[in-house]
């Protein structure tokens, strides 16, 4: 019953096997290897467009590098006030941007609306008091497990463009969001106005595979130098290239993400059916955010379940946890089994039943 | 006959197997996994001292992070004028230091002498015209394949300490140097006055395993934040921990490095015996630097050999290549075979014999 | 009726005269001039303690340099969410800190309470997700014209110290605050736990005179290099030294600030007496923040008055402007005359009387 | 006999008077004052072209800001190996560039030749090992008192352009160079291919007046934010605007520079005529660099003269000082009198005569 994060499992057997096979013999270093190069070709097919791709070691690096490509040191990058780039990367975006400023926008469930964006821009004071707004970074899915529909993305990027902003998508759980929407990769990215994407494989079946992908290729100028300068250019890049190649092949990513999402939906349905438990946000990817009594959370942990509590700042105020309640985050992965989901639900259900009985 | 770099081969079978074994099941993320933690314990035994260790994805990152730990944004870091940190990392040290200045010192074969260091310090103008000198970064072995003896290291670090400098060792080829010297890891590092070490496994049998090691643990304060901020904190760090653990176990690193060094010595001996070819510097690790006629280099490449030409700036002026000569760099690895070394030598020898015959 | 800012007037006659007198002949550059050196001595008497002082050209530079002295590139600096360093310096603190993160705390009237500070620290998630908290920057007076009493300062800095934070005071209107409180300079700074002070002369009678003052002198290490590196070391520093010396001499600063404060109090009393106008915050320094009908503001501007509207975010929610109201900021200076204050009040009063009459 | 630097005197009477006159009354802050605005207009006439100008407090800031405008954080900026930006600004260019790398080129007397530039570019290794070359920063006059002719500038900037480099001119002694050449300001700048100029008034009759001037106005985009962010946007900018306006008016700058240059030529002629003394470089602006016996230097200092010794690295090797000789730098200013020059020469002459007599 480990639901802490999708980064606590290794690679899928198929991805691991790709590492093993790619290990043999000599290969060009710093990306001049066949795996990286085939992946690049495959990626253009995947997204159905020309693009520039740069493999890196961590999602933090991918996001921070992408941020630096759309926001100069003297600029401001808008993002959700509780986004991962704002709150969980220990200042990496600011470091990679060279001092650029992250500015937080509000939004239920981590989603930024065109209205919120327009309102922020309208309230800018003018003059040189604030860094000029240069970019917008959104997450698909968000820190609260929600996804933007292609139409929502389009409306938001149209507004961003109107204000002169380039748009980055943090796709740490890109494949979960894509499976959830059932649209094409193109529809969720460049066709919806995304300029740069951080594509994450690590949370969905790879051991370490992250990429910065430029749909607006003009932003990729000098980027190979910029990546090298950040210590993100692996000498034996085949390690990443091979994982990503296997991950893309035969829709392996989809299979992995679909399973993780299904496990989350199963968990969500089970928990939502328990009186006294409700969902903070709908379950759209591989994360479930139940609002539950603190005593239930304590009980689940005592029974061996592992998961984190979570922020309620970006909830609809009317939905927020009461004084004895807490929001929890449960993350599923390609390794999650129906059995452990069901066991978690059963423990929760039993506890709440007994509690009600005791109260009567 | 691929002698371009020791980063063009994969992992040793034993290291690869460790990755495969570590892949199974759940494990704590961001370093809270058993492999990383066992490696940390093993490393203290290896160096026979308490220390702090931080695993990272690339040697560039290890060096740049270490540089930032001994030199503030407003300081200067002394290094060899042709060192890897100066010339081959695309400004990563400056980036990680936050603008700190790399200042180059001369030295035959990439080695800095206490005399050169003292002379540089003595020539500082005073006042605030130049950033204050804060650190010294040396490479063991150097970009020209030389090693400092423990006594040389001690003399140099005594001088550095006298000038208030902390000392970093770039150990991208640490194991090759250690095998070459036959001393203990402690004798080559903290007992010789080294404060921070970049320990590289990637060039000697790992796919991707680099570490920043603090012998002066006061320098490690806040370092976990600093690593995270640079995008070098892997969520599935077991990937590195498992490689390093296997690499250290049963002196596997030594076996790999000893082989690479032996192949280099074989190459060096063979080439030095050819009239018209000489060594720019003695062969001390897994690199050989023959000075040869340009036509021989062209011939070897035409025959399928792969290697780079190299700078002659740090050669003894009396030894520099003549007008039709060039310095080459040949790098061996744990995969290099005696056969390909011998074949390379034979081709060179044949060519030079025929050339002499033709000239007669 | 120019009430836009106290930076729109020149120097007082006495300060200007000091510039003229200091201009003659040769003097040591980069601070080695008698004016700078006498000012440093005078400042130690003024604050009644040993200290280190560094003269700079702008308040932005003083704040940003001070920020960089208490917060490293990888750290977070707490400040009020609407402070000048947060909102009006175009990212200068982030630039000078080398990427350190400004984190905003709420507080009525721009003042941070120990409770707000404690609550923020208590909510930190732990781990390496966020930059470690390193410093606290407060303003005396605040962007909303309020001052901390020495006791309030002490309570706040005790809390800061408990959390390991160094404390910076932005004293752009230091002299106005000091006159307002009637305490000693020492009581408002180091005796109240302040580690670093930005002392501003520019807004109170100088043309350009700002200083970074270290009460915690350990923070001043290397600071001369750091100042030089930011382009803030004037070759002819006598220009600043002479101004500051004259400003301190015979309590000239006090005379100037007392006048400006008195003009503000006169304005505040006059406006508060007008039905339909109220003060957003009490008038404690040389700034007045009336809440008034938008039509009154328009009328005043049409009559030739010059001033800005202001944010209401840091007001007590119960006091916030209604739908047709606005908050204005009126700033007085040593040049402000009672006549222009009275004229402003009279225009406002007449307008509101006529408006009431028309409404009846 | 103070010849240490031209930054040890105050402002000329005319410039000082401009400060006094500009001090009265209210004026727009942050550059919205009539003096700054009139200066901007006058400057366009002076250079006979449209341009963008930004006033700043120090020459270091002007150079560093200009550097940052032509070289991104991940780029390299070429400059003379002993230039002021390389050696005397304590890392300010690196700081303002956000980590960009200064790379030094050799050149007699501080001048870079097209050949040296071409050779450096030709030797770049390719790949991502080094930061891409983005800009070239030259000084007019150099640290060794030499000037580029317009033709030399043109040849150099043509080469720079060929390599994709933007060109910055450090004009700390711009007016001295201009008087020396007798050409127009346009001929020495944009007509010769200069993209950005640091124009210094401080060393030639102002107390503090420096400007960054963009001939390539596309480089000025966002620059007002960038200046603000560096703490270089003065609230009472009239202080600089008034000085610069008076400095430009009626060719006042020329009068001041012509005097300083004439004093230097007088010094150069006098010293060169003394047997045993020679000039390291021709006297082209307001600096003289005699090579003299160490004992003469000691004697001059004992007699009350004040000046610095100087580097001989950029001398023609054949001209370098002998074992008992030293290079000195003598700087003249608008305040220097013929009498003190003549007294200096006389003391030197007497000493050398007596020394010769004693030797005979």
Q: With an 8 Å Cβ cutoff, are C73 and B73 in contact? A: yes
For residues C225 and D94, what is the distance between their CA atoms, to the nearest angstrom? 14
For residues A130 and D98, what is the distance between their CA atoms, to the nearest angstrom? 19
Could you tell me which of A205, A209, A201, A246 has the C-alpha nearest to residue A12? A205
What percent of chain D is modeled with pLDDT above 90?
Answer: 98
Q: What is the DSSP string of D161-221?
A: HHTT-EEEEEETTHHHHHHHHT--TTTTTGGGT--EEEEE-GGGT-SS-EEEEESSGGGGT
The nearest CA of chain D is from the CA of B22 a distance in Å of 33
For residues D321 and B324, what is the distance between their CA atoms, to the nearest angstrom? 36
Which residues of chain B neighbour A60 with C-beta distances below 8 Å?
228, 231, 233
Chain B, chain C: beta-carbon pairs less than 8 Å apart:
44
Do the Cβ atoms of D64 and D89 come closer than 8 Å? yes
Q: Where are the alpha helices (DSSP H) in chain C?
A: 13-22, 34-47, 59-70, 84-87, 92-97, 114-122, 150-162, 174-181, 185-188, 223-229, 238-248, 252-272, 294-302, 338-359
Express each pLDDT in B194-214 by its tens digit.
999 999 999 999 999 999 999
Please name the chains neighbouring B, where neighbouring means 3+ C-beta pairs under 8 angstroms: A, C, D
- Give the number of residues written for chain A: 360
For residues C297 and C320, what is the distance between their CA atoms, to the nearest angstrom? 16
Q: Report residue C13 as tokens.
A: 């006659």
Taking residues D32-36, report their average pLDDT.
Answer: 97
CATH class of A13-250: alpha beta
Which candidate in C7, C99, C102, C125 is best for mutational testing of the A interface (most A CBs within 10 A)?
C99
Do the Cβ atoms of A68 and A100 come closer than 8 Å? yes
Q: With an 8 Å Cβ cutoff, are A94 and C94 in contact? A: yes
Q: With an 8 Å Cβ cutoff, are C8 and D23 in contact? A: no
For residues C190 and C196, what is the distance between their CA atoms, to the nearest angstrom? 8
Find out if CATH 3.40.1080.10 is the number for domain B13-252.
no
Q: With an 8 Å Cβ cutoff, are B231 and A5 in contact? A: no
Taking residues D297-310, report their average pLDDT.
Answer: 97
Do the Cβ atoms of B62 and B56 come closer than 8 Å? yes
Could you tell me which of D293, D310, D309 has the C-alpha nearest to residue D359? D293
Q: With an 8 Å Cβ cutoff, are B225 and C127 in contact? A: no
Which residues of chain D neighbour A222 with C-beta distances below 8 Å?
72, 74-75, 132
Express each pLDDT in A175-219 by its tens digit.
999 999 999 999 999 999 999 999 999 999 999 999 999 999 999
Do the Cβ atoms of D100 and D93 come closer than 8 Å? yes
Which candidate in D77, D91, D143 is best for mutational testing of the B interface (most B CBs within 10 A)?
D91
Do the Cβ atoms of D198 and D168 come closer than 8 Å? yes
In chain C, where are the structural domains located?
13-251, 253-359
Among the partner-chain residues C89, C95, C129, the one whose CB lies closest to the CB of A87 is: C129
pLDDT at A284: 98
- The backbone torsions φ and ψ at residue D291, rounded to the nearest 5 degrees and listed phi first, read -95, 125
Show Cβ contacts of residue D97 under 8 Å, excluding neighbours closer than 6 positions: B99, D64, D67, D68, D71, D72, D73, D75, D77
Q: Which residues of B257-290 are buried (b: 16+ CB within 10 A; e: fewer)?
A: bbbbbbbbbbbbebbeebebbebbbebbbbbbbb
Which residues of chain D neighbour B90 with C-beta distances below 8 Å?
74, 128-131
Express each pLDDT in C108-154 by its tens digit.
999 999 999 999 999 999 999 999 999 999 999 999 999 999 999 99
Among the partner-chain residues A8, A28, A90, the one whose CB lies closest to the CB of B28 is: A8
Which residues of chain D neighbour B130 with C-beta distances below 8 Å?
87-88, 90-91
Among the partner-chain residues A128, A222, A233, the one whose CB lies closest to the CB of D74 is: A222
For strands B325-331 and B290-293, give the pairing: antiparallel
Per the rule left: phi > 0, alpha: psi between -120 and 50, beta: everything else, D331 is beta
Q: Report residue A282 as tokens.
A: 């709908």
Mean pLDDT of chain A: 97
Q: With an 8 Å Cβ cutoff, are B10 and A16 in contact? A: no
Which residues of chain D neighbour B120 with C-beta distances below 8 Å?
none
Could you tell me which of D152, C261, D179, D182 has the C-alpha nearest to residue D169? D152
Which residue has 């340009």 as its token pair? B294
Could you tell me which of C289, C83, C69 has the C-alpha nearest to residue C170? C83
Continuous segment of H or E residues that includes residue B166: strand B166-171
Among the partner-chain residues C76, C87, C95, the one whose CB lies closest to the CB of A99 is: C95
C347 cis-preceded (ω within 30 degrees of 0): no
Question: Is 90 exceeded by the pLDDT of residue D360?
Answer: no
Enter the DSSP assignment of A26.
B
Could you tell me which of A231, D280, A214, A312 has the C-alpha nearest to residue B56? A231
Which residues of chain C neighbour A131 with C-beta distances below 8 Å?
90-91
Residue of B nearest to D60 (CA): B129
Taking residues D19-46, report their average pLDDT.
Answer: 97
Question: Is 90 exceeded by the pLDDT of residue A299?
Answer: yes
Q: Report residue C8 as tokens.
A: 């729109």
pLDDT at C360: 81
Taking residues B102-117, report their average pLDDT.
Answer: 98
CATH class of D13-251: alpha beta
Which residues of chain C neighbour B131 with C-beta distances below 8 Å?
225, 229
Show Cβ contacts of residue B119 under 8 Å, excluding neighbours closer than 6 positions: none
Please name the chains neighbouring C, where neighbouring means 3+ C-beta pairs under 8 angstroms: A, B, D
Q: With an 8 Å Cβ cutoff, are D10 and C64 in contact? A: no
Q: With an 8 Å Cβ cutoff, are B74 and C131 in contact? A: no
Q: With an 8 Å Cβ cutoff, are C225 and B30 in contact? A: no
Q: With an 8 Å Cβ cutoff, are A10 and B28 in contact? A: no
Which residues of chain B neighbour A229 with C-beta distances below 8 Å?
89-92, 95
3-state secondary structure of C189: coil
Give the other-Cβ count within 10 Å of A185's Cβ.
Answer: 20
Please name the chains neighbouring D, where neighbouring means 3+ C-beta pairs under 8 angstroms: A, B, C
Q: With an 8 Å Cβ cutoff, are D230 and C92 in contact? A: yes
Could you tell me which of B224, A267, A74 has the C-alpha nearest to residue D230? A74
Question: Is 90 exceeded by the pLDDT of residue A360?
Answer: no
Cα distances (Å, whole numbers) of residue A314 to A80, A112, A168, A280, C117:
10, 11, 21, 10, 22
Q: Which residues of D88-119 are buried (b: 16+ CB within 10 A; e: fewer)?
A: bbbbbbbbbbbbbbbbbbebbbbbbbbebbee
Which residues of chain C neighbour D21 with C-beta distances below 8 Å?
none
pLDDT band at A359 (very low <50, low <70, confident <90, very high): confident
Taking residues B238-253, report their average pLDDT.
Answer: 98
What percent of chain B is modeled with pLDDT above 70?
Answer: 100
Question: Is 90 exceeded by the pLDDT of residue B100?
Answer: yes
Residue of D nearest to C97 (CA): D95
- Residue of higher predicted confidence among A67 and D125: A67
For strands B308-309 and B325-331, give the pairing: antiparallel
Which residues of chain A neighbour C101 with C-beta distances below 8 Å?
91, 94, 102
For residues B68 and B134, what is the distance between their CA atoms, to the nearest angstrom? 10
Q: With an 8 Å Cβ cutoff, are B87 and D130 in contact? A: yes
Which residues of chain D neighbour C332 with C-beta distances below 8 Å?
none
Which candidate in C72, C91, C126 is best for mutational testing of the A interface (most A CBs within 10 A)?
C91
Express each pLDDT in A300-342 by its tens digit.
999 999 999 999 999 999 989 999 999 999 999 999 999 999 9
The nearest CA of chain B is from the CA of C213 a distance in Å of 19
Could you tell me which of D168, D167, D190, D187 has the C-alpha nearest to residue D177? D187
Q: Which residues pair with D168 in a beta bridge?
A: D137, D196
Express each pLDDT in D140-170 by its tens digit.
999 999 999 999 999 999 999 999 999 999 9
Please give the model's pTM, rounded to 2 decimal places: 0.97
Q: With an 8 Å Cβ cutoff, are D234 and C58 in contact? A: yes
pLDDT at B218: 97
Express each pLDDT in A264-288 by its tens digit.
999 999 999 999 999 999 999 999 9
Which residues of chain C neighbour A95 with C-beta distances below 8 Å?
73-74, 99
The nearest CA of chain D is from the CA of A131 a distance in Å of 7
Please name the chains neighbouring A, where neighbouring means 3+ C-beta pairs under 8 angstroms: B, C, D
Express each pLDDT in D89-134 by its tens digit.
999 999 999 999 999 999 999 999 999 999 999 999 999 999 999 9
> Which residues of chain C, if any, have pLDDT below 50?
none
Chain C residues with a Cβ under 8 Å from any Cβ in chain B: 30, 72-75, 98-99, 127-129, 131-132, 222, 224-229, 233
Residue of D nearest to B86 (CA): D130
Question: Is 90 exceeded by the pLDDT of residue B359?
Answer: no
pLDDT band at B360 (very low <50, low <70, confident <90, very high): confident
* Fold topology of B253-359: 3.90.1150
For residues A328 and A311, what is the distance between their CA atoms, to the nearest angstrom? 8
Show Cβ contacts of residue B189 under 8 Å, excluding neighbours closer than 6 positions: B47, B169, B197, B215
Chain A residues with a Cβ under 8 Å from any Cβ in chain C: 73-74, 76, 87-91, 94-95, 97-102, 128-131
Mean pLDDT of chain D: 97
The nearest CA of chain C is from the CA of D207 a distance in Å of 6
Express each pLDDT in A80-112 by its tens digit.
999 999 999 999 999 999 999 999 999 999 999
Q: Which residues pair with A198 in a beta bridge?
A: A170, A212
The nearest CA of chain D is from the CA of C297 a distance in Å of 21
Q: Where are the alpha helices (DSSP H) in chain A?
A: 13-22, 34-47, 59-70, 84-87, 92-97, 114-122, 150-162, 174-181, 223-229, 238-248, 252-272, 294-302, 338-359
Among the partner-chain residues B74, B127, B233, the one whose CB lies closest to the CB of C226 is: B74
């Amino acid at each position: 019953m480990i639901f802490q994060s999708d980064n606590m499992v290794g690679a899928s057997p198929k991805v691991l096997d790709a590492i093993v096979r790619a290990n043999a013999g000599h290969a060009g270093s710093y990306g001049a290897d066949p795996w990286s190069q085939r992946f690049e070709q495959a990626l253009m097919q995947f997204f159905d467009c020309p693009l520039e791709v740069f493999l890196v070691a961590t999602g933090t690096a991918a996001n921070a590098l992408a941020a630096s490509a759309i926001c100069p040191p003297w600029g401001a990058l808008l993002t959700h006030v509780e986004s991962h780039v704002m709150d969980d990367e220990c200042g990496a975006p600011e470091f990679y941007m060279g001092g650029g400023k992250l500015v937080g926008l509000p939004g239920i469930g981590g989603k930024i609306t065109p209205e919120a964006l327009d309102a922020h821009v309208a309230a800018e004071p003018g003059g040189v008091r604030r860094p000029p707004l240069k970019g917008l970074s959104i997450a698909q899915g968000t820190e609260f497990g929600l996804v933007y529909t292609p139409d929502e993305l389009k409306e938001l990027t149209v507004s961003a463009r109107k204000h002169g902003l380039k748009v980055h998508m943090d796709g740490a759980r890109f494949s979960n969001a894509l499976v959830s929407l059932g649209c094409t990769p193109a529809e969720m990215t460049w066709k919806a106005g995304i300029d740069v994407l951080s594509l994450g494989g690590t949370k969905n079946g790879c051991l370490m595979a992250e990429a910065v992908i430029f749909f607006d290729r003009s932003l990729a100028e000098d980027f190979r130098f910029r990546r090298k300068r950040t210590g993100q250019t692996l000498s034996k890049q085949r390690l990443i290239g091979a994982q990503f190649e296997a991950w893309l092949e035969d829709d392996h990513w989809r299979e992995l993400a679909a399973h993780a999402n299904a496990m989350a939906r199963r968990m969500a349905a089970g928990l939502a059916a328990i009186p006294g438990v409700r969902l903070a946000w709908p379950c759209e990817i591989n994360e479930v955010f139940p609002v539950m009594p603190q005593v239930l959370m304590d009980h689940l942990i005592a029974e061996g379940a592992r998961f984190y509590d979570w922020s309620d700042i970006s909830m609809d105020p009317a939905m927020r946890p009461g004084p004895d309640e807490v929001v929890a985050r449960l993350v599923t992965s390609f390794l999650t089994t129906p059995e452990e989901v069901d066991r978690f639900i059963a423990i929760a259900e039993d506890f709440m039943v007994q509690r009600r009985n005791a109260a009567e």
